[in-house]
Structure 1
Amino acid sequence: MKQDLGSFRDRSGYVYSDPISIIRTIMPCYKETWQLVKRSGLLDEVVNEKLLIPFEECPPIAGSWKSLNVNRIPFISYPYEWSFSQLQDAALLTLKLQLKALSKGLTLKDASAYNIQFIGEHPVFIDILSFEEWEEGQPWEAYGQFCSHFLAPLALAAKKDLRLSQLSRQWIDGIPLDIASSMLPWKSKLSLGTYMHLVLHANMQKKYEDPRSVKKNNTRSMSLEKLRSIIESLESTTKKFVFPRQDTEWGDYYNDTNYTDEGTSAKLKIVEEIAANFPGNLAVDLGANTGRFSLPLANYFDQVISADMDPAAVEFNYRHLSKNGPHNILPVILDLSSPSPSLGWASQERKSFVDRCEADMLLALALCHHLFFSSGIPFKQIAMFFASLLNPQGTLVCEFIPKKDSQVQRLLSARDDVFDDYTEENFRQDFNAAGFTEVKTFDMPDSVRTIYLFKKSN
């Protein structure tokens, strides 16, 4: 088994994995704490409520005192890939667990957004060793981490610009509170919760960052009642942040398209037919917008990733799935012209999207022309990128849209047409050169577009 390179910070235990199992070790230094947490009954309670990832004890490995066999997450996503409501739900789950822990005489020692993962649209806490005993008078040590990981990006998205929540990609240890505070409009700072937990908090951090400050060590005793009050204030502040009504390029895509109802229905049937013939574990819908064409995939794949660059579209997708299902689709924010890179220590702490994606099927509908014209990415590069996301013998469903299509004409309306290489023949040749074999093509009614079914070669 290999150690997860993102699990080195917590000496209580480390994560190991192989293609079958996920093992979290418990090191001797956490033995007494683990026994205390187990006796409290908290773990059984939150697992039963589907707040904590299920696990079973197993024989120790890698010099551990004990090991846990943990349920595998279908796909690992990161906070900078989540919609506004996904991040908000993850924050509220963290606070709910902290309140439950306090009721058992325990506390969360970590409040990292990376402790949350999504199974479909359902958030779950994965850091089983994050609980420890709460000592009388002790403040919540993870308070600052919660504010920088959750409150700062939510406030910036709600009060300034929806896209600013993705600053988490720049600061994976949390957005610095002084930066978040300086960017917020002054009116938003009149909110008591925002002022206390972000503005005043940032000022206090700045005041006491000087090691010569004698007040830094004069921490006042924190009663349980006061600590609960702070957590409840954080919860109230988090809930008050509202998704901003902000126009984005593709947020209303399906109301501004040249598809007829007959064409859309035919396209959905094509996707359904292909998925039924080539089912598998993971399907990824690239450029999914609000996820309409992700839905047929859910019947034939264990997990579906519904990815789009537009945060408003992904927000709509997440909210719709949360209410209506199906529950094996995970919406994520993904800019394909600059997909999530490897980040953190030695560029290995957080894996790139490519490294995390082992898809059995890729859906790329109404996408290639955007990458080609808007981002300047030629077919050859697009094809090689798609190949890097697919398992051997994986399936690619890709749409070619000729220049005479009205949507392509719109893209070209503000520029000179210097794209002589944008032809269907070049499209086919470049995908074939990247290792794709053409299986079948589908013509759609009321459209000049063609859907290609490719299989990736070994």
Structure 2
Amino acid sequence: MRLIRLKNFNLDDRGCIFEFDGRIFRGIYEHRKDLILEILNGGLLEELVKRGLFVPTRVSDLKLDDYALVLEHERVDPIIYPYEWTFSMLKSAALMVLDIFEVAKKYGFYPLDCHAYNVGFKGGKPVFLDLGSFFKTNAKEDDCLLSNFIRNFSRSYYFPLFLWSRGIVDLVRFNFYRGFYHSYREYLLLREGLSSGFRIDEALSRLMFKGLKEIALFIANLGYDESPIGDFNVKKGYAPLISGLKILFKHSGLNLVCLKGLREEIENLKVNFKTRWEDYYGPAPKLTPRFSRILSLVKDLCRDAETAISFGANACFFENALLDMTHIKRVICQDADFNALDAGFNRYGHRSDGKEIFFACYDFLKPLLPITRVKSPYKRFKSDLVIALALTHHLILREGCSMDFILKEFRKYTNKFAFIEFMPLGLWSPGSEVRVPPWYTRDNFRNSFCKYFDFLLEEQLEENRILFIGKVK
């Protein structure tokens, strides 16, 4: 037996994660065995799994040197990383973590290590993945642990949700890419309209009149911000006030009031800005003859395909129909327009037929690869069938990408088949003049297509839609 240790995801003192034959195992160290068994047998894990909040987990018969206990977790695949989530995915993950907190608290635990990289999506719902995140509470440390949970939760979910709701999307996604947590200082900069060089105690005079939630966030995050802007030195006159607030929140239960306020605000947060493609299908999309023909071709030509990835999925109407009307069991919807993809998540994310639909918001022509803690999208999202409908003309004529480059990228995501449309009239709409460069031709696209796929079929579906179907060489 050859176990692969997932080195980049072993950051706690409870044990280590291993992969074998597509299965996920967790080895538990001897000094943490009793704690983990209490989580397993004391009712906590059972209730979390029953409520769909934690990935199903069992004690394995597997024996490993250096580990007193081995667990097996149900695999969640594919993993969609937080910087690839939509707003509603992040929001649902935040509310799920608060639900976990309420359950864990009943059994004497807090989910301290609650950052978003410990969350996966299954069946359109977030699910927690890390058993090592639960810490046992006690009377002596309870308030300190609770403050730690508020800090980690706010920096993982509330701050990025607040920024995103105000249109600061790129910063949120970059912060998720570079690490687990978001900056309290950036949150204050936007919320309070402070100058970039403000001192943290300057904000306190404003926060004192903003309610218990804001004061609790201030106390929990004081001294833990990673931002290089400014500092956290506190003016001498403020020190007694801050000390008094720490004592008050430590012994009064006001931190729990803060969590209630956080839940209420998160439930009400919305995105209040439009994106280019979010209304692409309109309020009542219908299955066109073109879509019906493509679905028929998938059934006829891709009988041994079970999974698909669709690029430029917009609000995912076609992808949902692909699951409804063909044998495909899983589809991954990709789009760089976060509002469009978010509409798809909200409309089609929850299925009850056993088939799965996933949502990944990123620019597939510029995937973020250098970070060592994550796997590339090529590995995570590779499927039996790659689909790109009404997309290549934007990439070629608007983004300036070559046909070869685009088709080479599509090839990296498929094991078997490719369904890719070419728009011979380019960025054209009925009634307008056709303007395309002389090299932008059907023949040139076909030649590029055949470099990466064995040609199966070429069919004109509409005036400006030619479908190319190929099989992996």
Q: TM-score range by the shorter chain?
A: 0.7 to 0.9
- Counterpart in the other structure of 1:399: 421
Alignment of 1:11-50 (within 5 A): 11-50=13-52
1:316 maps to 2:343: yes
- CA-based RMSD of the aligned residues comes to 3.4
Find the residue that maps to 1:294 and give its secondary structure: helix
Of 274, 285, 289 in structure 2, the residue corresponding to residue 247 of structure 1 is: 274
| 1:280 shift after superposition | 3.2
| 1:275 shift after superposition | 4.4
Letter in 2 for 1:241: L
Counterpart Cα distance in 2 of 1:408 and 1:125? 49
Counterpart Cα distance in 2 of 1:340 and 1:322? 25
CA deviations on 1:76-109 (whole Å, 9 max, x unpaired) are: 0011111111101101111111111111111112
1:132 maps to 2:135: yes
Of 64, 78, 83 in structure 2, the residue corresponding to residue 80 of structure 1 is: 83
1:430 maps to 2:448: yes
Find the residue that maps to 2:11 and give its secondary structure: coil
- Counterpart in the other structure of 2:198: none
Normalising by structure 2, we get a TM-score of 0.83
Q: 1:426 to 1:52 in 2, by over 3 A?
A: same
| 1:5 shift after superposition | 3.3
- Counterpart in the other structure of 2:357: 329
Find the residue that maps to 1:331 and give its secondary structure: strand
- Counterpart in the other structure of 1:144: 151
| Conserved 8 A contact 2:213-2:258 | no
Counterpart Cα distance in 2 of 1:293 and 1:361? 14
CA deviations on 1:179-232 (whole Å, 9 max, x unpaired) are: 232134649988647744666765665699569x99999964845944433332
Find the residue that maps to 2:318 and give its secondary structure: coil
| 1:111 shift after superposition | 1.3
| Conserved 8 A contact 2:124-2:351 | no
| Conserved 8 A contact 2:44-2:107 | yes
| Conserved 8 A contact 1:120-1:303 | no
| Conserved 8 A contact 1:374-1:411 | no
Structure 1 range deviating more: 162-171 or 137-146: 162-171
| 1:292 shift after superposition | 1.3
Structure 1 gaps, min length 5: none
- Counterpart in the other structure of 1:371: 395
Number of matched pairs: 440
CA deviations on 1:247-303 (whole Å, 9 max, x unpaired) are: 2111122349xx9x78x2332331343146424343111110000111233242332
| 1:176 shift after superposition | 1.4
CA deviations on 1:88-139 (whole Å, 9 max, x unpaired) are: 1101111111111111111112111111110131111111222121111423
- Counterpart in the other structure of 1:362: 386
Counterpart Cα distance in 1 of 2:268 and 2:306? 38
1:285 maps to 2:288: no
Counterpart Cα distance in 2 of 1:163 and 1:194? 26
Find the residue that maps to 1:68 and give its secondary structure: strand
| 1:450 shift after superposition | 0.8
| Conserved 8 A contact 2:387-2:418 | yes
Letter in 2 for 1:438: F
1:452 maps to 2:468: yes
| 1:18 shift after superposition | 3.0
Find the residue that maps to 1:336 and give its secondary structure: coil
Q: 1:77 to 1:170 in 2, by over 3 A?
A: closer
| 1:21 shift after superposition | 1.1
CA deviations on 1:52-88 (whole Å, 9 max, x unpaired) are: 1002211233521111111111210011111111101
Letter in 2 for 1:9: L
Q: 1:174 to 1:295 in 2, by over 3 A?
A: same
Structure 1 range deviating more: 157-166 or 181-190: 181-190
Of 165, 175, 186 in structure 1, the residue corresponding to residue 182 of structure 2 is: 175
CA deviations on 1:138-194 (whole Å, 9 max, x unpaired) are: 232232221111111100111244554323344322121112321346499886477
Normalising by structure 1, we get a TM-score of 0.86
Counterpart Cα distance in 1 of 2:26 and 2:216? 33
- Counterpart in the other structure of 1:443: 460
| Conserved 8 A contact 1:397-1:451 | yes
| Conserved 8 A contact 2:123-2:350 | no
- Counterpart in the other structure of 1:114: 117
Letter in 2 for 1:235: R
| Conserved 8 A contact 1:401-1:408 | no
Counterpart Cα distance in 2 of 1:224 and 1:67? 40
1:235 maps to 2:266: no
Of 104, 109, 116 in structure 1, the residue corresponding to residue 107 of structure 2 is: 104
| 1:339 shift after superposition | 2.1
Letter in 1 for 2:419: V
| 1:375 shift after superposition | 1.8
